[in-house]
């Protein structure tokens, strides 16, 4: 059974640029959630994708957007990067939406300079 994978591992971008992060869900999972973890904090929910549609969203601006593909993999896109976007971005997958157990990937560490 393949776990949740994310790419790239690390990324450095300049303020104002755009970035795309990728996530492959664990086999048998159809739901992907994205979280942002700032240094010293717990992860914060960005949004969730189920059946290729955004299923719920946290308190993040529209410049954070995403996609889910028919194979359940997902992308997180961030436009007009700001310094405060520097964080660890975590992807989690689950067998469905709601109260199912979520399993996390290793994360992508984004640095905005």
- Contacts with another protein, residue ranges (CB under 8 A): 33, 35, 37, 41-45, 48, 55-56, 58, 88, 90, 92, 97-107, 109
* In the complex, least distance from residue 16 CB atom to another protein, rounded to whole angstroms: 26
Measured distance CA(44)–CA(47) in Å, rounded: 10
CB closer to another protein, 28 vs 100: 100
* In the complex, least distance from residue 56 CB atom to another protein, rounded to whole angstroms: 3
Contact 107, 6 (CB under 8 A): yes
CB closer to another protein, 4 vs 19: 4
Q: Which long-range contacts (CB under 8 A, 24 or more apart) does 40-49 make?
A: 43/90, 46/76, 48/97, 49/74
């Amino acid at each position: 059974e393949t776990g949740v994978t994310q790419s790239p591992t690390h990324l450095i971008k300049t303020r104002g640029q755009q970035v795309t992060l990728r996530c492959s869900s664990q086999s048998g999972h159809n739901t992907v959630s994205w979280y942002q973890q700032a240094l010293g904090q717990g992860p914060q929910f960005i949004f969730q994708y189920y059946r290729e549609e955004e299923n719920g969203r946290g308190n993040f601006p529209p410049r954070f957007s995403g996609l889910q593909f028919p194979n359940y993999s997902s992308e997180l896109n961030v436009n007009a990067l700001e310094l405060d976007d520097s964080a660890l971005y975590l992807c989690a997958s689950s067998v469905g939406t709601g109260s199912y157990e979520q399993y996390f990937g290793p994360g992508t560490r984004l640095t905005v300079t």
